Amino acid sequence: MNSASPPLTSLSRVASRTAAAPPDTPVKIEADRLNFYYGPKRALDGISIRIRTNLVTAFIGPSGCGKSTFLRTLNRMNDIIPATRVEGTVLLDGKDVYDPHVDVVALRRRVGMVFQKSNPFPKSIFENVAYGLRINGMARTRAELNDRVEESLRQAAIFEEVKDRLNDSALALSGGQQQRLCIARALAIRPEVLLMDEPASALDPIATQRIEELIYDLKKTYTIVIVTHNMQQAARVSDHTAFFWLGRLVEYDRTDRIFTAPAEKLTEDYVTGRCG
């Protein structure tokens, strides 16, 4: 298992060689030999990866392989779980997010997150989106607030469905609509990176398709990292794919190569359904 640099070199080699390759955009997030512990148990083992700007990067792997844990280290959401510990570095635009001087609140404003189970606040649709703007002081007037809420709902492709009932409770929406509302809420504070933790795993196929189309649109503006169980989904939406196994990063490459010609036997076995 080569977890550290070799996948990265193979990635850049492939990218420069193949015409159809996605452009080699600048590195947005770089993890270097990242270890993560829940109490004494090591959940991530030496993860090194470079995630590139304005691309969709998918994390795949079996349950418990560490892909969600790794995703949550990128905006320090694991900080709120007691008795956890991080070693190594995560650089966002070259600056270590685990540096003691880093303001976690400011970090999470730049690195937004959408969760596996849609979790709207038990408030109105409008208030769900407005909350992030209010607490971060991002709208000075009522008109500005209204504009930003509408813009975010449009970006998340849900505005047309809810425009006549913005003051209704968000909990009255369907599961797929709730998840798109959560995406709108995350987009409202204009993050640079959007982390998505299995955003469609609880949705029906049509709602899933809408989320996937949305991801495709959003990558023009955002750097997206998506954790998914569903390999077809990874193949459909992502430019790069990272395969995790037992807390290690086994292989990281362009998505088409991961699914058609992986370098590692383990990756091949997993994507063809022979293990995991």
Partner 1 sequence: MKHRADLAFRVLAMATLVVALVTLGALIIDVMADGAHRLSWQFLTSLASRRPEDAGIYHALAGSIWVIVLTGLLALPLGVASAIYLEEYGTASRLARFIEINISNLAAVPSIIYGLLGLGLFVRTMNMGRSVLAGACTLALLALPVVILSTREALRTVPKSIREASYALGATKWQTIWYQVLPMAFPGILTGLILSLSRAIGETAPLITIGALTYIPFAPDSVWSPFTVLPIQIFNWVSRPQAAFKENAAAGILVLMGLLLAMNAAAVFLRDRFQRQGRS
# of chain residues touching partner 1 (CB under 8 A): 28
Binding flags for partner 1, 174-203, as an x/- string (CB under 8 A): --------x--xx--x--------------
49 lines the binding site for partner 1 (CB under 8 A): no
- Comparing CB distances to partner 1, the nearer of 226 and 266 is 226
Under 8 Å between Cβ of 263 and 249: no
**C-beta of 169: minimal distance to partner 1 in Å?**
6
In this chain, which of 172, 216, 217, 275 binds partner 1, going by CB under 8 A? 172
In this chain, which of 136, 146, 201, 209 binds partner 1, going by CB under 8 A? 136
**Alpha-carbon distance 14 to 17, whole Å?**
5
In this chain, which of 132, 176, 247, 262 binds partner 1, going by CB under 8 A? 132
Whole-Å CA distances, 64 to 40, 187, 245, 246, 248: 16, 28, 8, 7, 11
117 lines the binding site for partner 1 (CB under 8 A): yes
How many CB atoms are located within 10 Å of the residue 248 CB?
Answer: 19
Closest CA to 170 of 130, 115, 127: 127
- Comparing CB distances to partner 1, the nearer of 51 and 182 is 182
Closest CA to 218 of 24, 108, 20, 56: 56
Considering only residues 69-88, where is the footprint of partner 1 by CB under 8 A? Answer: 75, 77, 80, 82
- Of 29-37, 104-112, 151-159, 250-258, which part binds partner 1 (CB under 8 A)? 104-112
Residue 35 is encoded by which pair of tokens?
């270890």
**Alpha-carbon distance 89 to 35, whole Å?**
9
**Alpha-carbon distance 275 to 108, whole Å?**
35
**C-beta of 202: minimal distance to partner 1 in Å?**
12
In this chain, which of 121, 146, 157, 230 binds partner 1, going by CB under 8 A? 121
What is the SS3 assignment for 215? helix
102 CB burial (10 A radius; 0-12, 13-18, 19+): middle
122 lines the binding site for partner 1 (CB under 8 A): yes
What does the DSSP assignment read for 151-206? HHHHHTT-HHHHTT-TTSBGGGS-HHHHHHHHHHHHHHT--SEEEEESTTTTS-HH
In this chain, which of 18, 119, 167, 232 binds partner 1, going by CB under 8 A? 119
- Of 10-18, 20-28, 130-138, 241-249, which part binds partner 1 (CB under 8 A)? 130-138
- Comparing CB distances to partner 1, the nearer of 57 and 75 is 75
**C-beta of 30: minimal distance to partner 1 in Å?**
21
- Of 118-126, 144-152, 215-223, 264-272, which part binds partner 1 (CB under 8 A)? 118-126
Q: Residues 140-178, buried b or exposed e (16+ Cβ, 10 A)? A: eeeeebeebbbbbbebbbbbebbeeebeeebeebeebbb
Q: Can you give the binding site for partner 1, defined by CB under 8 A?
A: 75, 77, 80, 82, 105-106, 108-109, 112-113, 115, 117, 119-123, 131-132, 135-136, 169, 171-172, 182, 185-186, 189
